[in-house]
Structure 1
Amino acid sequence: MQTPPQTTDELYEALRENDRLPYGRTRTVTAEELAEAAELFGEPVPLIHALLELQEAYTYGSEPRKSPVVFARLLNLFDEQPDVFDARLRHQLFWRFKWVANALRSLPEIPLASLRQWQTEMRDRYEKAGLDLQPYYGQAYQLAAHIGEDTALAYELWAGRTRGMLSDCEACETCERALYHLAAGDDARALGAWEPVLAGKESCQEEPARSVSYALLPLLRTGRTDEARHLHLAGYRGCRRNPSMAGEVGRHLEFCALTGNEARGLELLAENRTLFDEVDSPLALLDLLTGVEVLLARVEALGHGELPAAGFAGRSWTVATLRAEVARRADDLAGRFDARNGTTAHSGRRGARLAQAPLLESLELTLRPRALEDVAPAPAAPAPAPAEPLPESPADLIRRARELDEQGHPDAHACWARLGEVVSAPGYVHPDDPEVGPLVRLRADLLEEEAVLAERRDAYADAAALYEEAAGLYEDAGTPGHAVLARACAVLAAAQTPPEDSGHDADAHVAALTEAHPALVRLHEEAAGLAPCLEARLLRLRVSALGLRLQASGDREQVAPVFTEAELLHDFATRHALTGQIAGARLLRATTHAMSGDLPTALAEADALVESLRADGPAWHLPRALSLRGKIQLGLGDAQAAHASLSEGLRLAAEWPADTVDAPTLHGELAQACMHLGRPDEALRHLTRSAELDLRAGNRIEAFCTYSNAAQLSLDLGRVEDCIALLDSLLVEPDVVAGELDDRLVAQLRLTRARALRAGDDLKAATAEFAALAAESAGWEDDPGSHAMIAAETAVLLGEAGEFGRAREAVDQALAAHARDPRYEMVSNALRELARLQAYQQGPEGLTGARAFLDDAGRVADEARAAGFEADGRSLDSALAYEHGRVGAYGGAYDEALASLEKALGLLGEPGEDAERAAEWAECARLAAVVEGVYLERRPVALGRIGAAVERLTALGHGEAAEPLTELAERLRDEE
């Protein structure tokens, strides 16, 4: 709070603003400041409201020690001035006796006698006020359950009574009944009691999140795993980072530990690490710590005790050290409660939770399943495993590596990796073998391999430098042919290096590749006595340069030179029986046909190549050929054939080292094929697999882009909780939190999450995220259009919440950004929707504000018309006229509404044969008839309008669109 309120009106507005904030220290501190300010007015009613807000902040901010103190002040005010408490305030006061009872139970330092004394106070107060005692008996039962004694009798005394005005809500009482059956070991009866809450039929401030956390394990034990999975995702979101629901968070961690999702559990623990310090309720902390210990003990038992873990502030923790600290603190808390209560209930419950065995070996909870190995610090990348055992002696290993390298065999990389280890080891003695050559030759080989790996990482500048260094060593070793080839590789790598001053400018890239080709030709022509394998690789570089230029430029005139060079390579490789280079030439030829747009010829080439490779090899080229064929088949619209080719390619790729074929791209292409085949769930699996493979390879931008597509697809499929859980997992990645990932990509992830929250009816969270994104995107000077989109969506959400002042501010931002980078349809849609919302929610009182939104929409439509913009759907002018009609009808301006709707009908024109257009026309005609026949009470005229519309629609074959009109006619006749 920047400045204290100066009037009671300002105080009430500040209280309303604070009520919009999530529970936590920010809201609590502001509530404390407002309570202090309220005292200065010297009026009891404002003070009562401020104290009620403060007690709520303490209660749901997990500060139970402070809640009873505030309530005592409220009770004193009631005793001194009962008349200032109206019916609503009086209800609030007596309701909160239960809050105090809950707070006192959660503090082990409060004697048991004091707990019973408070219950007596509550009973006496209720009886004196003539209130029903069912809430008192509810609190008596909860105390008995807490202590672990006489629960059956206390339950009957409470559960058998009729609910009253001050009873806990249906959802909370349902949870208490279910927990009673759960404590008795009756999972089925507990779940039966929980059914209305778990199904979303009953809810409140803490429900269904509280019930869900308790129901997860019973659901597993009764075989309802899919339901448990879904409720974990939705329920966890309802309690994450919430101090008043720390126990619920602990039970979600426990659920992860018992379903083979230990890695997700550690991720969720990290997300909630602030709870260790924020939770001031010993009872809630005990619940949280026990769940944390179940998780950590499981991770430690699996041999990962040294993994880092998020724990108490002030030091770094491993799983093992944190588990020991958590166990010490939780044992102490359980012992303190048992000492206060005179039972062993809390130690017993805690011991039972810790003794649980896993319920499932594995349950896929999210679209991003991870193992404990995935959260461990990344070790150095292991050398690729070869198909055959590597030779032991250095000489044989060198010979094998060079032989495989000449063939282009994938196992060459494993040989070079092993040789790198051998040469760098202390005491290495190079073989005295003329066939092997000098050490300087081997060092050149290893540098060249390092350059190849750098190229695969797109580190072209590094690769070029390494190739040049290798070339010098090859000359020193007396192998000029290899030196020429290394220099040629350096030329092509340098041509692919993005210019430092201009980013990866397309024209600069094309120019560099254009210059590279003659340089490669000169190197080739000036070289003498090249071995066939080296000359073929030089020819391969020449055609690659032209192919890359074609790819970068898209210029069809560049196709012929590529084919010419490809034929040179193919003929040379055929004469010298270089099977790997023959396959490479054919692959380049098929790719070039595809890039030129001649897909049928490209497919024929790819088919022939696949058959040739099946028959004669080399087999390691087959996955890449199948991948190309699948892409071509997809381009030709044969998704079934594409799916078969890509699936086979992926299966065969698994037989070779991981870098033989681009598996992430294969999965991505399979996802496209699956979408074309109407198999979106399978597509989703391939997208997430593609992203995870990229992530493991260090390609983080590509991975996050693919995950973004997966999140959007899951949202499109209605898998809202999967979408949110996936994005939550990505947004806590270290480089995202540290701001090291591309900010626009992160913004896209957050935008999709905000839309998913909206789809999941979590409007408060969605609005907060949209508002934050709108504020951030306001600074995107280079992209005002995206800001216009985000601000427009934010405005609509604020309108749905009835906050039209803030909605006006947001849509004004959208309009300002739209003026710089037009988004006609999007901004018009938002303005019209805001007008409808305000008129619908506020009626005649909202008409002025609604018309202001429509006036802005009218200006946008004028701009669009002047710019020649055409909307994807109905025109902006007809949509605007229709909205004027709706707004007028909601606001009671019926004649104006009817005129607007008739204008909309004129703009729409005849229904025509298009079903969508006919449906729009029919809806406009129906609303006009409603205004005329219902609100203006001109039923005969309205019936005539309807009859003509139905006749027109029926004649055009739009019987379904006419049905609402027919139903309206029947209603109007019934009312005559």
Structure 2
Amino acid sequence: MPTAPQTTDGLFQALQENDRRPYGRTRTVTAEELVDAAEQFEDPVALIHALLELQEAYTYGSEPRKSPVVFARLLNLFDEQPDVFDERLRHMLFWRFKWVGHALRQLPEVPLTGLRQWLTEMRDRYEKAGLGLQPYYGQAYQLAAHLGEDTALAYELWASRTRTRLSDCEACEICERALYHLEAGDDERALSIWEPVLAGKESCQEEPARSVSYALVPLLRTGRTDRARELHLAGYRSCRRNPSMSREVGRHLEFCALTGNEARGLELLAENRVLFEEVDSPLDLLGFLTGVEVLLQRVETLGHGELPAAGYAGRPWTVSGLRAEVRGRADDLAARFDARNRTTAHTDRRRVRLERAPLVDALELTLRARALDDVAPAAGSPAAVPAPGTVAAVPDALPELIIHARTLDEQGHPDAQACWARLRRLVAARDYTHPDDPAVGPLVRLRADLLAEEASRAGDKDEFTVAAELHEEAAALYDDAGEPGHAAVSRACALLATAENAAEGGAEGGDGAESADGTEAADGTEAADGGGAKAAALTAAHASMVRLHEETSGLTPFQEARLLRLRATALGLRLQTSRSEEHAAPVLAEVDVLLAFATRHDIDVQVSGALLLRTSTLALSGDLPAAVTEIDALLDRLKTQGPAWHLPRTLGLRGRLQLALRDAQAAQADLAEGLRLAADWPADAVDTARLHGDLAEAVMHLGRPDEALRHLTRSAELELRRGSRTDAYCTYSNAAQLSLDLGRIEDCIALLDSLLAEPDVVEGKLDDRVVAQLRLTRARALHAGEDLKAATTEFVALAAESAHWDDDPGSHAMIAAETAVLLGESGEFGPAREAADQALAAHARAPRYEQLSNCLRELARLQAQQQGREGLDDARAFLTDAGRIADEARTAAYEAQGRSLDTALAYEHGRVAAYAGEYEDALTALDKALTLLGRPGGDDDHAGEWAECIRLAGAVEGLYLERPAPALIRLDAAISHLTALGHKEEAEALISLAARLRDEE
């Protein structure tokens, strides 16, 4: 708190501001400072309000030791000055007796006699005040349940009594009744009692999040797995990182362990790491730690005890190490409670949870389904380990391993990856001794091989600068090893990588020599930018390769074929970049040279590569039927002569060609078969990620969006594993948007929460615009899920950040406009006006006519609807701005994708005036809108808009202006017109309004 309030008015304003803050340390410290400030005034009411705010901060900030102390001060004030407490303050005081009882139960150092004495104090106070005792019996029951005593009598004394004004809210009492039956082993009855809360019909500060966390296990036990999944997603989001709901977080971690989602559980544990330090309630901490232990125990049982785990601050933890630490602390807490309570209830409850076996083998909780193997750190460099797939056995003997790796590399065989990965680890070891074997060659040759392979992997991830540098280093080492042919190939690869870097990501596939199809955009579906500089860089690279090829003597057939392939690939990339017809023939000429050479020397991998390059060139030239014919012949050849690992990529290219030919069914068949065959090879070697991505597009065309969503997420996760992180996050962003479009809101939010918690994002290593897109989609999902407060907070932050995007004012205009609308929905029209002004300023630099018009009209509607006549002037100011936008759009000959900006504006003038009670103005504006719209025809798409305008005009004229006769004439004419045209659905609302007007005549 920057400055202490100097007046009681200032104090009350500060209390209101603090009440809007989330529970946590900031709110608690401010509340403490406000109590200090209140004590300076001679106003007991101000002090009472400050103390009430402080007790609330302690209660929901998980600081139970302090809550009773504050309440004691309030009780003393009430005893000394009861007249100061008005009815509302008196109600709050007696309500919070229950808060104190709850706080004392959470502290094992408070003796059992103290708990019972407090209950007696509560009963005496309630009786003296003439209050009903149902809340007291509720506290007595909760104490009995906490102690583990026979609760039957305590439950009946509470549950059979009539509720009072001081009873816990309906949602909380439902939870307690359900828990009673759950403890008795009756899952079905508990779930039946819980249903109003689980369905969102009853709620409060802690509900339904508290009930959801308890209901997850009985839902699983009764086979309601889909419902459990749905509630986990929504319920976890409501309690994560919240110290006062740490027990609930623990039960969500346990749920992950019981459903085969251990990797998800570790992710959630990391997200809630702060709870290890911030939970000051021993009972809450016991519940949290027990849930953590259930998860860690399961992970360790599955053989992953050495995985890193997020635990107590100050040191790194493994799963096994953290489990031992958590077990010791939780056992101690349970023993302390049992010693205080003189029962074994808490130890017994812990044992039941820890001994519970998984209830579902594998329940897909999120769109980003990962197993523990997916999150395990690879030995050595993660990039050195092949992606999942079938990998052949790797020789044990070092000389054989080196020779085998080189042989596989010459063949372009995917299993070479596993050999190079093992060699990299061996060579990096301190005790490595290189074989003295002429067949193996010197160590410098092996180091060059490893650098060249690392460079190729960097190129596969579009890290062209790194790839070029590594290829040059490899070439220098090959020179030192007396291998001029290999040096020439590495220098050619460096030339291509440098050109691709200049082309800013022209085509994936690194040096192109290891790629099955060379120019990956060969289907012609990827847009070209026609950049002259890019084409020039590739032209120069090709010329340099030709000179390098001519100047290098002693090339083996394998090396010469690779140089020819690189030359053809450079020209293919140039064609892809320029889309110039004159660049097609040179590619085909180089392909013919490569094909003839590879056929003469029986180099199958390069024969296949040449044929794929020819297919790509035909596709880029626009001759898709010829490309399909060419690739059909190649597929026949691959099936008989191989190499087999080229089949998945080739089928993938054929699928993309079929998509370009608008045959989604054929594309789906090819891509699905490619994906089936890809399972036999390492994922990155056959580009399984691309196959999943293209299959997602195909099934979307076939009207199967849920299937597309699965392929998108699989594609993204594979990209993430192979290190293509930006591509992965972009694909995941598309998946999140699709899930939002499908109405799978909680899935969307859970996916984005997972991505935004990734180290790349948290540490600022990912492109800020990609992160902004993820956050924007999440904010929209929160809005769609009716979490207006969270959505507005995120939009406001994004609007502030995007204001500095000088290179992209259009995006800022869009974000600021959406932010303004959300602020308007919250009734914060001052900040909404500021956000709208930001959007207008950005719009002046990069017009967004329709988005800005929609925003301004919606703000006008919201302000008029919420404030009536009082907000009319400000609402009309928004409409004036919208009118200016419409004028600009008309001047620019802009055509709106949705409603006409002019007709929409006229309609909104009518609606705003109606909300403000200016009915004559409203009717005039609506008549103008109708004139602009014109009467709809048989196939007009604006019949619904016209009917709505008629309906509002009829309501204003007939109901508010009390002129039913002309209103009915208007309505009847419109009904007849719409009915005659077959627009029966649009006429229904008009028929209903006409009937109402006739009834009221």
TM-score, normalised to structure 1's length? 0.94
Contact map agreement 1:51 1:70 (CA 8 A) in 2: yes
The residue aligned with 1:249 is 249
Give distance in 2, aligned partners of 1:439 and 1:838.
Answer: 76
Which residue identity is paired with 1:971? R
- Deviation, 1:531, is 4.9
- Deviation, 1:360, is 2.5
Contact map agreement 1:394 1:431 (CA 8 A) in 2: no
1:680 aligns to 2:684 (yes or no): no
Which residue identity is paired with 2:435? V
Which residue identity is paired with 1:373? D
Write the mapping of 1:87-486 to structure 2, written as runs, cut at 5 A: 87-380=87-380, 381=382, 389=393, 400-401=404-405, 403-414=407-418, 426-432=432-438, 448-468=452-472, 481-486=485-490
- Deviation, 1:864, is 2.4
Deviations 1:162-181 (A, max 9, x none): 22222111111010001111
Give distance in 2, aligned partners of 1:64 and 1:402.
Answer: 67
The residue aligned with 2:1000 is 975
Write the mapping of 1:714-725 to structure 2, written as runs, cut at 5 A: 714-725=739-750
68-77 or 643-652, which deviates more = 68-77
The residue aligned with 1:560 is 585
791-800 or 470-479, which deviates more = 470-479
Which residue identity is paired with 2:175? C
Percent identity of paired positions between Structure 1 and Structure 2: 73
The residue aligned with 2:4 is 4
- Deviation, 1:715, is 1.2
The residue aligned with 1:596 is 621
Summarize the Cα distance change of 1:103–1:655 in structure 2 as closer, same or farther, 3 Å threshold.
same
Summarize the Cα distance change of 1:360–1:583 in structure 2 as closer, same or farther, 3 Å threshold.
same
Give distance in 2, aligned partners of 1:283 and 1:477.
Answer: 68
The residue aligned with 1:613 is 638
- Deviation, 1:684, is 1.2
SS of 1:660's equivalent in the other structure is coil
Contact map agreement 1:915 1:958 (CA 8 A) in 2: no
Summarize the Cα distance change of 1:230–1:496 in structure 2 as closer, same or farther, 3 Å threshold.
same
- Deviation, 1:236, is 0.7
- Deviation, 1:389, is 5.0
Q: Extract unaligned runs of 5+ from structure 2.
A: 507-528
The residue aligned with 1:512 is 537
Give distance in 2, aligned partners of 1:421 and 1:49.
Answer: 66
1:550 aligns to 2:575 (yes or no): yes
SS of 1:726's equivalent in the other structure is helix
Which residue identity is paired with 2:459? E
TM-score, normalised to structure 2's length? 0.92
SS of 2:746's equivalent in the other structure is helix
The residue aligned with 2:496 is 492
- Deviation, 1:154, is 0.7
Give distance in 2, aligned partners of 1:881 and 1:403.
Answer: 75
Give distance in 2, aligned partners of 1:470 and 1:813.
Answer: 53
- Deviation, 1:649, is 1.0
- Deviation, 1:183, is 1.1
The residue aligned with 2:798 is 773
The residue aligned with 2:23 is 23
Summarize the Cα distance change of 1:466–1:162 in structure 2 as closer, same or farther, 3 Å threshold.
closer
Which residue identity is paired with 2:956? V
Contact map agreement 1:513 1:546 (CA 8 A) in 2: yes
The residue aligned with 1:741 is 766
The residue aligned with 2:976 is 951
The residue aligned with 1:833 is 858
Deviations 1:213-265 (A, max 9, x none): 11111111111111111111111111111111111111111112222222222
Summarize the Cα distance change of 1:392–1:163 in structure 2 as closer, same or farther, 3 Å threshold.
closer
- Deviation, 1:940, is 0.4
Summarize the Cα distance change of 1:350–1:829 in structure 2 as closer, same or farther, 3 Å threshold.
same
- Deviation, 1:737, is 1.2
Contact map agreement 1:213 1:248 (CA 8 A) in 2: yes
Contact map agreement 2:683 2:689 (CA 8 A) in 1: no
Summarize the Cα distance change of 1:694–1:840 in structure 2 as closer, same or farther, 3 Å threshold.
same
Which residue identity is paired with 2:94? F
- Deviation, 1:468, is 4.7
Contact map agreement 1:671 1:683 (CA 8 A) in 2: yes
Deviations 1:910-941 (A, max 9, x none): 32344531111110111011100000011000
- Deviation, 1:832, is 1.3
1:917 aligns to 2:942 (yes or no): yes
Q: 2:891 aligns with which of 844, 848, 866?
A: 866
238-247 or 559-568, which deviates more = 559-568
SS of 2:889's equivalent in the other structure is helix
- Deviation, 1:411, is 3.8
Contact map agreement 2:530 2:577 (CA 8 A) in 1: no
Contact map agreement 1:386 1:414 (CA 8 A) in 2: no
The residue aligned with 2:520 is none
Q: Extract unaligned runs of 5+ from structure 1.
A: none
- Deviation, 1:337, is 2.0
The residue aligned with 1:42 is 42
SS of 1:22's equivalent in the other structure is coil
Give distance in 2, aligned partners of 1:883 and 1:271.
Answer: 45
Give distance in 2, aligned partners of 1:134 and 1:94.
Answer: 13
Give distance in 2, aligned partners of 1:397 and 1:340.
Answer: 66
Contact map agreement 2:821 2:832 (CA 8 A) in 1: yes
The count of residues paired between Structure 1 and Structure 2 equals 972
Deviations 1:96-123 (A, max 9, x none): 2211221122222222223222222222
SS of 1:35's equivalent in the other structure is helix
Write the mapping of 1:547-946 to structure 2, written as runs, cut at 5 A: 547-946=572-971
- Deviation, 1:951, is 2.4
707-716 or 321-330, which deviates more = 321-330
839-848 or 411-420, which deviates more = 411-420
Summarize the Cα distance change of 1:143–1:896 in structure 2 as closer, same or farther, 3 Å threshold.
same
710-719 or 116-125, which deviates more = 116-125
SS of 1:145's equivalent in the other structure is helix
The residue aligned with 1:965 is 990
Summarize the Cα distance change of 1:256–1:779 in structure 2 as closer, same or farther, 3 Å threshold.
same
C-alpha RMSD over aligned residues: 2.7
Deviations 1:720-768 (A, max 9, x none): 1111111111111112111121111111111111111111111121122
Summarize the Cα distance change of 1:290–1:899 in structure 2 as closer, same or farther, 3 Å threshold.
same
- Deviation, 1:769, is 1.5
The residue aligned with 2:525 is none
Give distance in 1, aligned partners of 2:420 and 2:340.
Answer: 69
Summarize the Cα distance change of 1:524–1:113 in structure 2 as closer, same or farther, 3 Å threshold.
closer
Which residue identity is paired with 1:78? F
Give distance in 1, aligned partners of 2:988 and 2:243.
Answer: 53
Which residue identity is paired with 2:378? A
Give distance in 2, aligned partners of 1:318 and 1:473.
Answer: 40
Contact map agreement 2:461 2:723 (CA 8 A) in 1: no
The residue aligned with 2:79 is 79
757-766 or 358-367, which deviates more = 358-367
Give distance in 2, aligned partners of 1:145 and 1:407.
Answer: 71
**Quick one: higher RCO (CA 8 Å, sep 6+), 1 or 2?**
2
Give distance in 1, aligned partners of 2:73 and 2:391.
Answer: 79
Deviations 1:662-720 (A, max 9, x none): 11111111111111111111111111111111111111111111111111111111111
Summarize the Cα distance change of 1:924–1:411 in structure 2 as closer, same or farther, 3 Å threshold.
same
SS of 2:941's equivalent in the other structure is helix
